[in-house]
Amino acid sequence: MNNDLAHACALQEGCFCITVAPYASLVPAVMQTLQEERRKILYVSGNYPPVLTAVDRKTGHFSIRRALTAYQYLTILSDAYESCIIVEHDRSVYDDAPETAEAVGRLCRERAEDAAVLLIARRWDTFLEAMEPAAHTIIQIQDTGKKRRNAKWPVAVREKTTNHAHARTGTKNQDTGGSNAQRQLWDKEWQ
């Protein structure tokens, strides 16, 4: 498994992390996290949870809650008592209320004050962009579809870390992704 992704899916208390990676990379990373984590985990999924359906549910100590709307995401996160929360992003839950994406991001950050919060997604979208300011760390790993010479992983990595994670990463205010325009330019460089 890609070391960047294994690091991104590690549940670190006090941190709200958004991890975006291809499905084939997310499933083993989430499985490893569930196997290694000893704390109680809440796994929150939406209408269509492809990663959850591929995960061995006998692995680890976790409970599952399903949100069919963005407002249910907010309720589930507000009521959560677990010390680790994994949210599988489903953009379809925001169809009726796209303005709630920012509130979900802020609530994830609030919950991260006393828990580890990991939001996983298979691709970047406008709803994740609304949540981005609330995240402590963002890891974006993209499958470029091309095999690179002398490389095991055909991926491009973008990492943003805020002051919260300064001690963990050794950098301050690192953001190699930048604005949406910079992100698009960055994506083109890797294609």
Question: Band of the pLDDT at 143, cuts 50, 70, 90?
Answer: low
Report how many domains make up the chain: 1
Mean pLDDT of the chain: 74
* Extended beta strands in the chain, E state: 16-20, 41-45, 62-66, 84-88, 116-121, 137-143, 155-161, 174-175
Say how far apart CA 85 and CA 130 lie, in whole Å.
20
pLDDT for the residue numbered 134:
95
Beta strand 62-66 with 41-45 is parallel
CATH number at residue 10: 3.40.50.300
Among 18-27, 55-64, 122-131, whose mean pLDDT is lowest? Answer: 55-64
CB crowding 90-106: b at 16 or more within 10 Å, else e: bbebbeeeeebbbbbbb
pLDDT, tens digit (0-9, with 9 covering 90-100), for 144-171: 565 544 444 444 445 565 544 433 333 3
Full domain range(s) for residue 32: 3-189
Q: Which two tokens stand for residue 182?
A: 């910079």
